[in-house]
């Protein structure tokens, strides 16, 4: 039975007659004359290992390079984890920028109202400084804290909660407030 691969004779690069017909005939005659038992996978590897040492070294180097690249891809600082973290940070920053842009647009609208209209100025004077116009009446509503009802010794009946006091007109300041 012939070998599943050509014999190792003439496989090295130093054989000048490697492809010549004489060498091929010599190999064919040697294959036909020698009885060969079938080889298993590990026997084939041992038979080929002497000539394929260079290929094994190249394979080991390629595996080492592959492992180094996987390390750089998955574990190193510039790897996949860092890229994902940067994408999350970019998303958060984009949301914050959108909120700040909305706030800026609202502020620009307020500035435009303050520059052109009196209603915005009046509104600010009322809210921030407590100013009123001359033709308005100012009412201040005071809320008294609700006290708990007195506990009765028998506890048979409960009194109704006290009503809130009505609004009282406040006194008007002596001098009219300045107009905006």
Is 1 in the same domain as 46? Answer: yes
Nearest Cα to 135, choosing from 177, 90, 168? Answer: 177
| 162 falls within a domain | no
* CB-CB neighbours of 111 under 10 Å: 11
Domain co-membership, 72 together with 123: yes
Domain assignment present for residue 104? The answer is yes
Q: Is residue 42 part of a domain?
A: yes
Neighbours of 122 (CB within 10 A): 15
Same-domain check for residues 58 and 126:
yes
- What is the pTM (predicted TM-score) of this model? 0.36
121 and 106 in a common domain: yes
Task: Identify the helix (H) or strand (E) that includes residue 77.
Answer: none
Residue 114 zone, left/alpha/beta (φ > 0; ψ -120 to 50; rest): alpha
**Residue 22 falls within a domain, yes or no?**
yes
The dihedrals phi and psi of 76, each to the nearest 5 degrees, come to: -65, 170
116 and 127: one domain? yes
- The answer on pLDDT for 57 being more than 90 is yes
* Residue 138, C-beta contacts closer than 8 angstroms, at least 6 positions apart: 132, 169, 170, 172
Same domain, 7 and 39: yes
Give pLDDT tens digits for 135-173: 888 888 888 888 777 776 665 555 555 555 555 555 555
Total structural domains within the chain: 2
Look up the domain containing 29 and give its range.
Answer: 1-51
- pLDDT-derived band of residue 106, with 50, 70 and 90 as boundaries? very high
């Amino acid at each position: 039975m012939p070998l599943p691969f050509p014999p190792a004779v003439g496989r090295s690069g130093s054989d000048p007659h490697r492809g010549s017909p004489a060498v091929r005939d010599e190999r064919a005659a040697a294959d036909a004359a020698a009885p060969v038992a079938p080889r298993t996978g590990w026997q084939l590897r041992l038979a080929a290992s002497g000539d394929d040492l260079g290929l094994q070294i190249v394979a080991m180097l390629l595996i080492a390079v592959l492992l180094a690249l996987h390390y750089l891809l998955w574990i190193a600082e510039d790897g996949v984890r860092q890229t994902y973290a940067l994408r999350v940070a970019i998303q958060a920053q984009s949301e914050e920028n959108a909120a700040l842009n909305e706030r800026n647009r609202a502020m620009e609208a307020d500035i435009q109202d303050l520059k052109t209209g009196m209603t915005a100025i009046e509104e600010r004077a009322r809210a921030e400084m407590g100013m009123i116009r001359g033709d308005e009446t100012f009412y201040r509503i005071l809320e008294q804290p609700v006290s708990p009802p007195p506990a009765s010794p028998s506890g048979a009946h409960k009194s109704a909660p006290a009503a809130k006091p009505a609004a009282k007109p406040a006194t008007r300041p002596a001098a009219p407030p300045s107009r905006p």
